[in-house]
Chain A
Amino acid sequence: MEILVILVPLALALGGAGLIAFLWSLRSGQYDDLDGAAWRAIADDEPPQQQQAPTSASASSQS
């Protein structure tokens, strides 16, 4: 039963990590545009020669 000393904190830590991940995703606005996100996944990548690629990449992380 000594294994509990490892397993219980491990389980709680995993659960806590899940919770923190959820709160982070909520704060960073991941749920603001559920319809759009569904489409973005299958959208074509932007042509590489265009210069604004970094712009939209930074946009996706901050909004």
Chain B
Amino acid sequence: MQVTRDFSHYVRTAGEGLQHIDLAVEGVHCAGCMAKIERGLSAIPDVTLARVNLTDRRVALEWKAGTLDPGRFIDRLEELGYKAYPFETESAEATEVAESRFLLRCLGVAAFATMNVMMLSIPVWSGNVSDMLPEQRDFFHWLSALIALPAAAYAGQPFFRSAWRALAAKTTNMDVPISIGVILALGMSVIETIHHAEHAYFDAAIMLLTFLLVGRFLDQNMRRRTRAVAGNLAALKAETAAKFVGPDEISRVPVAAIHPGDIVLLRPGERCAVDGSVIEGRSEIDQSLITGETLYVTAEQGTPVYAGSMNISGTLRVRVSAASEATLLAEITRLLDNALQARSRYMRLADRASRLYAPVVHATALLTILGWVIAGASWHDAIVTGVAVLIITCPCALGLAIPTVQTVASGAMFKSGVLLNAGDAIERLAEADHVIFDKTGTLTLPDLEVMNAADIPSDIFALAGRLALSSHHPVAAAVAQAAGAKSPIVGAVEESGQGVRATVDGVELRLGRPPFCGAETLVGGATLDPEASIVAFSKGNEKFILSVRQGLRPDAQAVITALKARNIGVEILSGDREPAVKAAAHALGIPEWRAGVTPADKIARIGELKQRGAKVLMVGDGMNDAPSLAAAHVSMSPISAAHLSQATADLVFLGRPLAPVVAAIDSARKALHLMRQNLWLAIGYNVLAVPVAISGVVTPLIAAAAMSGSSILVMLNSLRARSASREIA
């Protein structure tokens, strides 16, 4: 059977007989990588464009249509030492990019107008106290109007649109007072200018827009970057499946290109990427990710298989019943959307405050105008004061206080490999003071490791690794990986359910079950880890045993120490047998551990801790721990092996290290601190500024400066949430 890779799903035509593909590339860090990749790819004939984007870690490639197979670029990048994956821009990301550009354009226009209007305003201010002619002043005012009115009409779009949407839905939001303030200030300035008055407020209105746009743009840009990283991540982890394109022909295609009714091939050692049912073949499958049951299930014709199942022994043909909605890409996108649109408790509070606040602002401004008129001021002065109140009370700082921290903190967490799944996870995680770890898959790695590699002569081990390459069994894969084997032994034969054998230089090599290699006696005599799987290797009459098991995460010990240093209690609750848990607890220096715990016991233990007033963070692997994850104050799951859809935890983390747990706690604590600080800053500003504005001593320009100042202060304060993640690594 011939296997081809099919990338047509990702290739698009770029006009003029060119084709275009975007690749996400792992491990591009510096100028050296950039130059190496661009030169390496440009050297391929018929390539017309090879350009690396270092910010997004992507390569854009264009070539003459029909001349090259995209697979060639991926091979070339592999030769250069980079892993590349075809990349598909999600529509969500494209929207963010467009939105971000639009805001930047608005900001450019507004900033240009602000600078030029200010240039005209300053002579007017100084002229008012010296000897400026009224005609000159009017001329400058008209010039200001000429610049400010079209600029405000263009740059104000994001606010006017949002305000209009809110009004059309019969609600108000922050953008309503902003829009009214800007329009009122501009309209009044035009009337003032017509009446040859001394003051116009074009400068105030346009400056307000500029500073608000700075805030909007920063917020938007953070989201865009997070989304780009997520898109890459999804591409790097993109699952493929072997789809039958003819009776005997297989093509490796992305899961996104598989549709219900297709037939895919599932070989031993592969994880199934789709839901479906077996139509041919017989095998054992490991469904522990879905059901938590570690005993293998026999799959034969008609057996349903689910995405995430591992095929162990035989080859299966599977008819697909559901594909793309269960893919990692879909899940990461969903998680990210959750995180970005997260409505945390504080955010809801701030939102509600802003919503209640808008009518209050309008009423206050109106009352101020009426109050001053009743007190004997002219309508003109009263309206100027009213505009100042409207601008200065605009609750932007309050509205920015929580979302900016949340965006920055989730971005920082994302960089350390943590994704938020629940909106209020940051606040709850910040309060956690007791961590319960599950052992299997959490403190230990989900994949297998060879534990006694050091006891075996290295040449023998290397030989075993090469032999292991010929087997599809997961344990063999672990042996091959541990030995760093690259070239398989020619002529190796796999005996299903037993092992592999080959003959090299007249000596027979065997790797597999101990009886297959004649090594039962060795197994009986050795004291071995109760958890480990034993494989034997024989070279002629020399026999060795390899103990393969899940190893501890490389930085588990450092993480436990770091948690203790932060005065956070640590304990292990595991459903595993006592010797295994005890060994892990000793290795990590955790005095408190319980073995053989049922899910119900775990919940009882969490309840007990809760009663004592502890805020429990449960770190478990998502599937079998689901009930206890839900019972804890806040929960976290590793998702390196598991399919994301099973992630019920508030936060999930990716990759081999355990450090994201500490990083997330630190980020969350810092973020909560900043959220509180921001709320106080915003409320304090309004409490101080509003009475001053009502009293009438503030002009609209000063009001705009003060309001923008408070928003920028809050935003800069939020940016401090970024530094938290750097301290850990």
Segment touching A, from B29-37, B417-425, B528-536, B708-716 = B29-37
Pairwise interchain contact B116-A15, C-beta atoms closer than 8 A: yes
- B695: interface (CB < 8 Å): no
- B431: interface (CB < 8 Å): no
Contact of B35 (CB < 8 Å), options: A12, A16, A44, A55: A44
Q: Given known contacts A32-B53, A34-B55, A46-B39, is B136 in contact with A12 (CB within 8 Å)?
A: no
Pairwise interchain contact B38-A19, C-beta atoms closer than 8 A: no
Pairwise interchain contact A22-B51, C-beta atoms closer than 8 A: no
In the complex, A47 Cα to B107 Cα: how many Å?
41
In the complex, A35 Cα to B30 Cα: how many Å?
9
* Residues A16-63 near B (CB distance < 8 A): 16, 18-19, 22-23, 26, 31-36, 39-40, 42-44, 46, 50, 52, 55-56, 58-60, 62-63
Using CB atoms, name the residue of chain A closest to B49: A59
> Could you pull out 27 A-B pairs where Cβ atoms are within 8 angstroms?
A11-B119, A12-B143, A15-B116, A19-B109, A19-B112, A26-B101, A26-B105, A32-B53, A35-B55, A36-B34, A36-B52, A39-B30, A39-B34, A43-B34, A46-B35, A50-B39, A52-B39, A55-B42, A55-B48, A55-B49, A55-B50, A56-B42, A58-B49, A59-B49, A59-B51, A60-B51, A63-B49
Tell me the smallest distance from the CB of B157 to a CB of chain A, in Å: 15
Tell me the smallest distance from the CB of A37 to a CB of chain B, in Å: 8
- A3: interface (CB < 8 Å): no
In the complex, A15 Cα to B43 Cα: how many Å?
44
Tell me the smallest distance from the CB of B93 to a CB of chain A, in Å: 13
Interchain pairs with CB closer than 8 A, number: 77
| Majority secondary structure, A binding face | helix
Chain A interface category by residue count: 20 to 34
In the complex, A23 Cα to B154 Cα: how many Å?
14
- B104: interface (CB < 8 Å): yes
In the complex, A15 Cα to B105 Cα: how many Å?
15
- A1: interface (CB < 8 Å): yes
- A6: interface (CB < 8 Å): no
Interface residues of A (CB under 8 A from B): 1, 4, 8, 11-12, 15-16, 18-19, 22-23, 26, 31-36, 39-40, 42-44, 46, 50, 52, 55-56, 58-60, 62-63
Using CB atoms, name the residue of chain A closest to B28: A36
Chain B residues with CB under 8 Å of A23's CB are 105, 108
Q: Given known contacts A15-B116, A52-B43, A56-B38, is B108 in contact with A22 (CB within 8 Å)?
A: yes
In the complex, A14 Cα to B285 Cα: how many Å?
71
Q: List 8 additional contacts besides A58-B49, A63-B49; criterion CB under 8 Å.
A: A12-B147, A19-B112, A23-B105, A33-B54, A35-B55, A40-B31, A56-B51, A59-B49
